[in-house]
Amino acid sequence: MSGYYYVLPQGADKDSTPIQCRGRGIFKKRGESPLVGDLVEFEATENGEGTVDFILPRVSELIRPQVANIDLAVLVFSLTEPALSLTLLDKFLVHIEHAGIQALLCLSKQDLAREGEDTEAAQHMMQEVIRIYEPIGYEVMTTSSSQGDGTELLLGRLQGHLSVFAGQSGVGKSSLLNALVPGLSLETNAISNKLGRGKHTTRHVELVSIGDGYVADTPGFSQLDFTELGIEELGSCFREMRELAPDCKFRGCTHMHEPDCAVLDAMEAGTIAASRYENYLQFMAEMKEKKRRY
């Protein structure tokens, strides 16, 4: 309902009905707005509702979807149908790194990758993801919602976290949530319907209890606009480049043409994946083009 926030009091059972609250007028004056995931101070009113008085400092904030205090982003990419795009995966990772959130790469539809027509290509892509992303510190899991493969492991990984599932349309996010949270079919069907062809966003974000954690049941991010996200130093959003940057000769090195660049040296030595560096160059070009338009 417009203008209302639903607050679960600290210590209350997760199945309890949240308290319907209004926000104090001071939020509008400050240009602030409580987000899903916020920790707040609220005061009960006589009619059984409440007012949100104060928003506690956030540990993270995402623009798409609008959600606060996420500490784990599960990036769901299918091994087939649709085929996995490393460029899109790196775009998501840039967004997550920029927000300072831990990322878990979840490769879905493992059953189709074993049995489908594109089995060889899908298996090769799975190995590529493991080869490229595990050495730079990303955790990679493979799952199959229909077969139940990997779902128990993923469920355990989500405990104690406030997580968000993100990925392009059709990768199986809703099926995965259904497998993880029995009885969630209505919510995930609603998400799936909103993710029809040409529709990639939802305005409604809600936290779903998942054992000792919560998952934001949102389709995740769609248009990843670096300029809108306020990303200036793109290299800092690539883990391996961020680690090497202090060894570059020039401060603020773009890692594109400067002499004595530690990133370019690593590229020549083969310790940085070619696909990652190519995507970095592509994203830099996108950012420059966007700035020219403004």
Q: Of 35, 68, 56, nearest to 164 (Cα)? A: 68
Which residues sit in the known binding site? 108-111, 167-175, 248, 253, 255, 261
Distance (Å, whole) CA 100 – CA 79: 26
Q: Which residues are annotated as a binding site for GTP?
A: 108-111, 167-175
pLDDT of the chain, 294 residues: tens digit per residue: 567 899 999 888 877 889 999 888 777 778 788 889 999 999 999 888 999 988 999 999 887 778 899 999 999 888 777 778 899 999 999 989 998 999 999 998 777 656 656 778 878 888 999 999 999 999 999 887 777 678 899 999 999 999 998 877 767 677 888 888 877 763 444 433 333 333 333 456 778 888 889 998 665 555 566 766 667 789 999 999 999 999 999 988 999 999 999 999 999 999 999 999 999 999 999 888 877 665
Is residue 252 a contact partner of residue 199, using CB atoms and an 8 Å limit?
Answer: no
Q: What is the pLDDT of residues 124-138, one digit of tens each?
A: 888 999 999 999 999
- Containing 207, the helix (H) or strand (E) segment is strand 207-209
Name residues whose C-beta falls within 8 Å of residue 144's C-beta, 6 or more positions apart in sequence: 108, 109, 110, 111, 150
Domains of the chain (ranges; CATH) run 4-55 (2.40.50.140), 61-216 (3.40.50.300), 234-293 (1.10.40.50)
Q: Give residue 114's pLDDT.
A: 65
Indicate whether this model's pTM tops 0.75.
yes
- CA gap 253, 259 in Å, rounded: 9
Q: For residue 223, with 0-12 CB atoms within 10 Å meaning exposed, 13-18 middle and 19 or more buried, which class applies?
A: exposed
Which residues does the annotation place in the binding site for Zn(2+)? Answer: 248, 253, 255, 261
The pairing of beta strand 67-68 with beta strand 72-78: unpaired
